[in-house]
Amino acid sequence: MRDVIGFGAINLDLIYEVGSLSEISCEGTELRPGKEFCPDSEAFEKVLKRVKERGILKTRNGGGSAANTVVALSRMGFKTGLVGKVGSDAEGKWLLGQMEGVDLRGVLSEGISGRCLCILDSNRDRSILLGPNANDSLSSEEIDFHYVTDARYVHFTSFAGERPFLAQQSLAEKLCPPLRISFDPGEVYARHGLNYVETLLKKSFVVFATEGEIEMLTGLDFHEGGRLLLKIGPSIIVCKRGGRGAHVISRNEEFELPAESTRVMDNTGAGDVFNAGFLAGLLRNRPLVDCASFAIRLAARSVTGYGRGRYPQKQDVAFLTKSSGSVSKRYE
């Protein structure tokens, strides 16, 4: 049995540095800090061409939120798997080679691989453009239900297209305890509003979202919005606040932890590493405050390098054995 199986888009991450986002913006595609866009293929190629002309390619990595999370967990020694689709092209083969111990029997190959253009400006602000490609062709009929259910957690993250989203909904409706669902809607799903993701929320055990995503979903700030999300079905809501830390709400407690001070090189995937740290704590039956503290620690380190260069290692899990002294409930 695997500890966590991820289910989300799989992308080739191209991370570029530019002087400012405004000099890369094109007509119809205005890049803004912290925002994700999914333009049509013509607009994507136009921005990519401009970035190549005016920016510096810092690294190319395997990416996709679910993939990043299970890679981080795999590096820590947890057994992980992945459901998704890459292209049958050279990039697809390369992406599969970047999965570092993740079981890939749930990954299909067809068409052109998805791409994610991550653009960093001189202030370390980031804008993301998605080119879904093969990701959007994944359908419910292609998913091996028995493969997915052989896990303790299934971690859902966003797709740009409707077909894979419907596949996630269909799968979630079939999943039952003791298997648990963790869910990170990201900006892509949050932008659609609460009704769009209600099925996934109802079936989730833990939900990860940023302040902005909670506001998009609920129309409320992260305190009230998080409490509203909790009423829908999840047992735990984790608000990722970036440089301000994390706010955790459960049925038994509510608390906030500050971020660790660090020098940011690239914050791409930091939220995914945070998710991995929190899930690692749950898998080790730690109190929620320990889960959040570990997640913050790993996320802070991840931003000090590019891509997956500063992801966690097996020795990091030893931090989870150190008691916080908390009397918080352990989610066993």
Confidence grade of residue 326 (pLDDT, cut at 50, 70, 90): very low
Confidence grade of residue 222 (pLDDT, cut at 50, 70, 90): very high
Angle between helix 270-283 and helix 65-75 axes, rounded to 10 deg: 50
Confidence grade of residue 233 (pLDDT, cut at 50, 70, 90): very high
pTM score of the predicted model: 0.90
Q: Specify the higher pLDDT residue, 231 or 265.
A: 231
pLDDT confidence of residue 275:
98
pLDDT confidence of residue 332:
41
Torsion angles phi and psi, residue 123, rounded to 5: -90, 5
Q: Is the pLDDT of residue 286 over 70?
A: yes
In this structure, what token pair is assigned to residue 327?
């009397």
DSSP one-letter code for 26: B
Distance CA 329, CA 202 (A): 22
Residue recorded with tokens 């503290």: 293
pLDDT tens per residue, range 173-204: 999 999 999 999 999 999 999 999 999 999 99
Q: State the CATH class of domain 2-9+64-111+133-321.
A: alpha beta
pLDDT confidence of residue 329:
46
Picking from 123-137, 159-173, 288-302, which range would have the lowest pLDDT averaged per residue?
123-137
Alpha carbon distances (Å) from 111 to 30, 91, 133, 190, 223:
29, 11, 8, 28, 43
Q: Specify the higher pLDDT residue, 285 or 120.
A: 285
Q: What is the mean pLDDT of the chain?
A: 90
pLDDT confidence of residue 28:
64
In this structure, what token pair is assigned to residue 308?
């997956």
**Helix residue spans in the chain (DSSP H):** 41-54, 65-75, 90-96, 145-149, 162-174, 186-190, 194-203, 211-218, 222-232, 270-283, 288-302
Q: Is the pLDDT of residue 285 over 90?
A: yes
Q: Which residues, at least 6 apart from 130, have a Cβ–Cβ distance to it below 8 Å?
A: 9, 11, 36, 37, 38, 44, 114, 115, 116, 117, 160, 188
**Other beta carbons within 10 Å of 324:** 16
Residue 79 contacts residue 40 (beta carbons within 8 Å): no
Q: Is the pLDDT of residue 325 over 50?
A: no
Confidence grade of residue 330 (pLDDT, cut at 50, 70, 90): very low
Terminal CA-to-CA distance of the chain, rounded, Å? 17
